[in-house]
Structure 1
Amino acid sequence: MSAQNTRTPAAAGPVVLGISAHFHDSAAALLVDGRLVAASHEERYTRRKQDPDLPIDAVRDCLDQAGLRITDVDCVAYYEDPAKKLHRQLWTGLPAFPDSSASALYRLDADRPLREIRDLLGWEGRVEFVDHHLSHAASAYYFSGFDDSAVLTVDAVGEWATTSWGIGRGASLELVEQVEFPHSLGLLYSAVTGYLGFEVNEGEYKVMGLAPYGEPRFRDEIGRLIHVTEDGSFRLDLDYFDFTDPDGMLGERFTSLIGVPPRVPESEIGKVHHDLARSLQVVTEETLLRMVDKAHRMSGSENLCMAGGVALNVVAVRRIVEEGPFARVFVQPAAGDAGGSLGCAAVAHQRLTGERPRQDRLTSVLLGSGTDSDGIARLLGAYAGRSFADFRGDEAGLLDAVAGRLAEGKVIGWYHGREEFGPRSLGGRSILADPRGDDTRDRINASVKMREAFRPFAPAVLAEHAHEHFRLDHESPFMLETCEVVSPLSLPAITHVDKSARVQTVTEATNGRFYRLIRTFADRTGCPLLLNTSFNLRGEPIVHTPVDALLCFLRSDIDCLVLDDFVLDREALPQSWVTWFKGTRPPRRSRVSDSVYTLL
């Protein structure tokens, strides 16, 4: 990051770099004159799932995309207040982790964020620290396009807040009430996630996918763990929790309450686990609906903005949309901690200028690195010889070739354009398939994604045809809510056991080539949608470079890889490649524990 000043005309207004780091899923976002120009996750570069370190590579890439250097930045914003966080950490007490004298103590350092921003980024200018829940709230409100809105943020914990209610009006955003740690809906969900044998901070999606298989027969028992007041606030019954126990956050008293022992990770999943997941999901939805009612009463607005990790519970969001009191709901698509980088940058912009960032609604999260067709050509020429098809200058031919393979039932790795920001692949780095195949879901789960068989896949549908196949009356570009499948087509690969799907509506304006691929597939088959899932294997980040995509292709049962303008079929590759890479896995990075939420 050279000190040479290279400010471009696009950077005539303030340049604000937002950073989230030092917990999990670190990220960077760049605002130029109030416009979001780039955002990226550090894990994509380092290949360390949920990399928590300062996002040096993501920062560099964001600046490169804008044609800027670190010296062009006017302000660096950080997504939480380290001093307040340390206060809560010390109040909680050191957990009994084996490494508490080393790495745990390393986390108890309120000076670390500023020190690393100075030392690792070489930044000597203004740094704004923004409270965690204000960063979440700003990431939703300032990118919603609303003139006014109620704002609800719900996660595990920030500094102290676990739930916040706020009001946005014009450039003003104020948090007016909060619930504080240790009372946390997010921690309740994570605690049961760990109890069910899934990895905390990762397995919550699995619990949500497992829930429709069960019945809510433990609803009353889960309900005893959380008391929701008449006004929509809540408290946990702390007698059931120990948030510092590395063996799990729910102990023997919870086991006695439900009569079900904790599930051993990777062991068989039975009906009782389905029922426990469903019960947790129902309690979560009902609690969120009470919170939403409170937000409506407090604000008087017809708009609601949501962020925080719990806002990524797509089933709950659908109930909020359908049953809640708001006319319009906007969920920030990177609602977890990574999205805090957007929010703190937006707050810093408002502090610098007195104005909100540009009020356009966020319509695309294709905010990461783009593809380089010529660079891919050089890569393939060096490593793949002539075992690929070159469609440079012939997009129609490329789309016809790929649509034909999809119609034959082949699974496609799709790598084109800028990569997505947030947890969902949305047509930039995706695995695609025909949603009509009876065995497609099981095949992709088992031999492509290498994950649990119960997990559902999402459809990407041409926006103008969405209403024909899904009970959906508005665009859903980010896969942030579920809805009922009502298609005249049989779509077993994307229809969950409860007849729902997590839909992505696709427009040509925001996702050109991906839209045109689906349209070409529809012209060939009469089916205007595709199965779309993230381009990665279980436990790994979404692919970032062409080499990442090639390795994922070789190590799985993906039939065909599309790298920008080039098509590689598995049968055309050297057999030695397929034999050598098949089934290999990179080492899984160690964690203190997968069953406890690391509050440090």
Structure 2
Amino acid sequence: MTYILGISAFYHDSAAVLLKDGKIVAAIQEERFSRIKNDDRFPKSAIQWMLADNQLTMEDIDYVIFYEKPFIKFERILETCIRFAPKGYELFCQAIPVWLKDKIFQKVSITRSLTELEGGKQWNKKLLFSEHHLSHCAAAFYPSPFTSAAILTIDGVGEWATTTISVGHGERIERIAELSFPHSLGMLYSAITAFLGFKVNSGEYKVMGLAPYGQPIYANVIKEHLIDIKADGSFHLNMHFFRFATELRMYGSELAKLFKIPPRTPESKLLQEHMDIAASLQAVTDDLFLQLADYVKRITGQTNLCLGGGVALNCAATGKVLKSGPFDRVWIQPAAGDAGSALGAAFICQHLYLKQPRIVQDGYMPYLGAAFNQEQIQNQLERLNAKYTLVADGKLFIQTAQALAEGKIVAWMQGSAEFGPRALGNRSILADPRVANLQRDLNLKIKYRESFRPFAPAILEDDVGDWFDITGSSPHMNFIYQAKPGVAEQVPSVIHVDGTARLQTVSKVGNEKFYHLLQTFKSITNCPMLVNTSLNVRGEPMVLSPEDAFNCFMNTGIDLLVIGNIVLLKTEQDSQLYKKYHYALD
């Protein structure tokens, strides 16, 4: 029996993953425990939970593997400072002391943190290091349903690579080509995200959601001045407009001159120009994705494609690759960003270091985090003086579906937490998609976020073809699809302004409880879908525990909270527990 612990940390969205004989036992982000969104610290609480939940200590862990090589990343930062001298002096003065003090010695730091855990004194100290984009590749390929596939990873930057092309076959991964820093689609997207007044590493989703409200009138400007795209999809950034290689900021004043508007101040009014810039950036991203996909197909000859890296979560672009690209099938790791790299690193240890054979399994589902039994749920709720009712399964689905059909907002917490950035029916806020103006009200009164941001539909897999331009399943919300004529009028709260939706198809095999709830809602309303958004508010990570869920429930306009077979009504709770929610800006 072999236990492998994969870790990602120290940049953003740290996570831990546990493998047992090559099978995923658990995977979770540190933010779910710390309640700090995108927490980048060593995932101590995540590791402690997964060890305790599996009756293990560090003494039982055979291998620990970190998702990247810190020393090579340090070399890249040092070389970049020298390369861009004297402009790189500011970055050198601010970043290098931090690296010399802490990050260059991450092996020592990681080892110390692990030895401080239970059983750590007896741990064999077998610590390995992967490579950033190789971890992305592994997270994308090994859990996929493909025996062999092309692998395309795109993100900001790892050690040096920003975009890689590889081929996976069995347990082998072979890199064919790569682009290096500072030429990065992720950095381009993040720089314009910052220019539009949103936070880097979390606001990119907002830019993608804002794009359909604009027209791509700046697309040619971006292509002519910011990024030079070659026929094979390779590209170079014009660093005259950017500062991320030389300073601790993303862009320079030249960007405002190019767009002929000043940078947007965070939280200020969104103008049409901002929407047009977002639309233009997304159009360029879509085109580049398609060019890259064509090139990957030509040089690999593969019929399947796996996508990884944070930019692979851009479901507008990946939806176009799925529909218009050259591959028969496309699979995306639901935790495609750095958190998922902990999973990739663990698989690298299993298949590349230990050379264990890979068993291809269809139907990967990311319900890999903490779960709570009935006793644990009740104990937490009773400590909070919550008023609740225990309801049997049959009545639970009817009561919840009926409340949804009446226009109530429901917080739905079931089973193991999702691994990755998207709620897939276990830590979700649900609502009736037929309700007009629900998108605005849900954004402003429940999620406390910008009113333009779209919501996704969770829909019964057997019914999805009647409503959207899709064949097959899409269980992870990784692609957008076009709604069929007339659908927007029937379910206005889940169809974006451009007539698309980011779908989650739900089957009995994938998520039985969520499937039964959707079936029951359909039997009442003849509508096989629900609004599904993550159970959290702006600036906070998704809830993990019953206590987290209750706090979110009491401090927002959610009407019902369903945890397991327990139902809580807002009208039955002590009103003194309610206070206006003070969210953190993200």
TMscore range, shorter length: over 0.9
The Cα of 1:95 is off from its aligned counterpart by 7.3
Q: Is residue 316 of structure 2 the alignment partner of residue 315 of structure 1? A: yes
The Cα of 1:116 is off from its aligned counterpart by 2.0
Given that 2:170 and 2:358 are in contact with CA atoms closer than 8 Å, whether structure 1 keeps it comes out as: no
Distance 2:379 2:113 in 1: 36
With over 3 angstroms needed to count, the CA separation of the structure-2 counterparts of 1:231 and 1:373, relative to structure 1, is same
Structure 2 stretches lacking a partner, 5+ long: 82-87
Given that 1:78 and 1:130 are in contact with CA atoms closer than 8 Å, whether structure 2 keeps it comes out as: yes
With over 3 angstroms needed to count, the CA separation of the structure-2 counterparts of 1:471 and 1:444, relative to structure 1, is same
The Cα of 1:108 is off from its aligned counterpart by 5.6
1:3 is matched with: none
Given that 2:397 and 2:520 are in contact with CA atoms closer than 8 Å, whether structure 1 keeps it comes out as: yes
1:33 is matched with: 21
The Cα of 1:126 is off from its aligned counterpart by 1.6
Q: Aligned letter for 1:388?
A: Y
**Greater shift in the superposed pair: 285-294 or 327-336:** 285-294
The Cα of 1:512 is off from its aligned counterpart by 1.1
Distance 2:91 2:458 in 1: 43
Q: Deviations over 1:112-164 (max 9, x none)?
A: 14432344443433222110000000101111121111110000000000000
Given that 1:86 and 1:108 are in contact with CA atoms closer than 8 Å, whether structure 2 keeps it comes out as: no
Q: Deviations over 1:195-232 (max 9, x none)?
A: 00000000000000000000000011111211122222
With over 3 angstroms needed to count, the CA separation of the structure-2 counterparts of 1:101 and 1:217, relative to structure 1, is closer
2:381 is matched with: 380
With over 3 angstroms needed to count, the CA separation of the structure-2 counterparts of 1:382 and 1:126, relative to structure 1, is closer
Distance 1:537 1:432 in 2: 14
Q: Aligned letter for 1:199?
A: K
TM-score by length of 2: 0.94
Q: Aligned letter for 1:62?
A: M
Distance 2:11 2:363 in 1: 26
Q: Hey, which bits of structure 1, 4+ residues long, moved more than 6 A?
A: none
1:115 is matched with: 109
2:541 is matched with: 541
Q: Aligned letter for 1:530?
A: L
Distance 1:101 1:370 in 2: 40
2:144 is matched with: 144
**Greater shift in the superposed pair: 106-115 or 510-519:** 106-115
Distance 2:13 2:159 in 1: 17
1:509 is matched with: 509
* Structure 2 residue matching 1:493: 3-state secondary structure: helix
With over 3 angstroms needed to count, the CA separation of the structure-2 counterparts of 1:292 and 1:447, relative to structure 1, is same
1:20 is matched with: 8
Q: Deviations over 1:450-497 (max 9, x none)?
A: 000000000001111111111111210000000011265611110100
**Greater shift in the superposed pair: 152-161 or 356-365:** 356-365
Q: Aligned letter for 1:298?
A: I
Q: Aligned letter for 2:525?
A: T
Aligned length in residues: 571
Given that 1:197 and 1:265 are in contact with CA atoms closer than 8 Å, whether structure 2 keeps it comes out as: yes
1:427 is matched with: 425
**Greater shift in the superposed pair: 449-458 or 561-570:** 561-570
1:407 is matched with: 405
Given that 1:161 and 1:179 are in contact with CA atoms closer than 8 Å, whether structure 2 keeps it comes out as: yes
The Cα of 1:33 is off from its aligned counterpart by 1.0
CA RMSD of aligned residues (A): 2.0
With over 3 angstroms needed to count, the CA separation of the structure-2 counterparts of 1:463 and 1:64, relative to structure 1, is farther
The Cα of 1:166 is off from its aligned counterpart by 0.4
Distance 1:99 1:458 in 2: 44
Distance 1:267 1:478 in 2: 33
Q: Deviations over 1:540-571 (max 9, x none)?
A: 01001111111111111111111221111111
With over 3 angstroms needed to count, the CA separation of the structure-2 counterparts of 1:499 and 1:103, relative to structure 1, is farther
Distance 1:106 1:538 in 2: 35
* Structure 1 residue matching 2:187: 3-state secondary structure: helix
Distance 1:142 1:325 in 2: 22
With over 3 angstroms needed to count, the CA separation of the structure-2 counterparts of 1:170 and 1:107, relative to structure 1, is farther
Q: Aligned letter for 2:304?
A: N
* Structure 2 residue matching 1:167: 3-state secondary structure: strand
Q: Aligned letter for 2:430?
A: L
Given that 1:95 and 1:244 are in contact with CA atoms closer than 8 Å, whether structure 2 keeps it comes out as: no
Distance 1:19 1:289 in 2: 32
* Structure 1 residue matching 2:509: 3-state secondary structure: coil
* Structure 1 residue matching 2:6: 3-state secondary structure: strand
Given that 1:346 and 1:356 are in contact with CA atoms closer than 8 Å, whether structure 2 keeps it comes out as: no
Distance 2:352 2:451 in 1: 48
Distance 2:288 2:164 in 1: 14
1:47-446 paired onto structure 2 within 5 Å: 47-93=35-81, 96=90, 100=94, 104-105=98-99, 109-120=103-114, 121=117, 122=120, 123-224=123-224, 225-243=226-244, 248-384=249-385, 387-391=387-391, 394-446=392-444
**Greater shift in the superposed pair: 372-381 or 157-166:** 372-381
The Cα of 1:105 is off from its aligned counterpart by 4.2
Q: Identity rate of aligned residues, in percent? A: 42
Q: Aligned letter for 1:136?
A: H
* Structure 1 residue matching 2:343: 3-state secondary structure: helix
The Cα of 1:235 is off from its aligned counterpart by 0.9
Distance 1:441 1:113 in 2: 46
The Cα of 1:92 is off from its aligned counterpart by 3.1
1:8 is matched with: none
Q: Deviations over 1:359-409 (max 9, x none)?
A: 213521000011221122233334336x32211xx1111111111110110
Given that 2:171 and 2:352 are in contact with CA atoms closer than 8 Å, whether structure 1 keeps it comes out as: no
With over 3 angstroms needed to count, the CA separation of the structure-2 counterparts of 1:187 and 1:331, relative to structure 1, is same
**Greater shift in the superposed pair: 96-105 or 106-115:** 96-105
Given that 1:142 and 1:356 are in contact with CA atoms closer than 8 Å, whether structure 2 keeps it comes out as: no
Given that 2:6 and 2:18 are in contact with CA atoms closer than 8 Å, whether structure 1 keeps it comes out as: yes
With over 3 angstroms needed to count, the CA separation of the structure-2 counterparts of 1:96 and 1:431, relative to structure 1, is farther
* Structure 1 residue matching 2:11: 3-state secondary structure: coil
**Greater shift in the superposed pair: 420-429 or 72-81:** 72-81
Distance 1:60 1:95 in 2: 41
With over 3 angstroms needed to count, the CA separation of the structure-2 counterparts of 1:108 and 1:285, relative to structure 1, is farther
With over 3 angstroms needed to count, the CA separation of the structure-2 counterparts of 1:108 and 1:157, relative to structure 1, is farther
Q: Deviations over 1:328-347 (max 9, x none)?
A: 11111100000000101101
**Greater shift in the superposed pair: 84-93 or 528-537:** 84-93
* Structure 2 residue matching 1:138: 3-state secondary structure: helix
Given that 2:145 and 2:361 are in contact with CA atoms closer than 8 Å, whether structure 1 keeps it comes out as: yes
Distance 1:327 1:131 in 2: 29
* Structure 1 residue matching 2:492: 3-state secondary structure: coil
Distance 1:417 1:316 in 2: 31
2:84 is matched with: none
With over 3 angstroms needed to count, the CA separation of the structure-2 counterparts of 1:175 and 1:107, relative to structure 1, is farther
The Cα of 1:63 is off from its aligned counterpart by 2.6
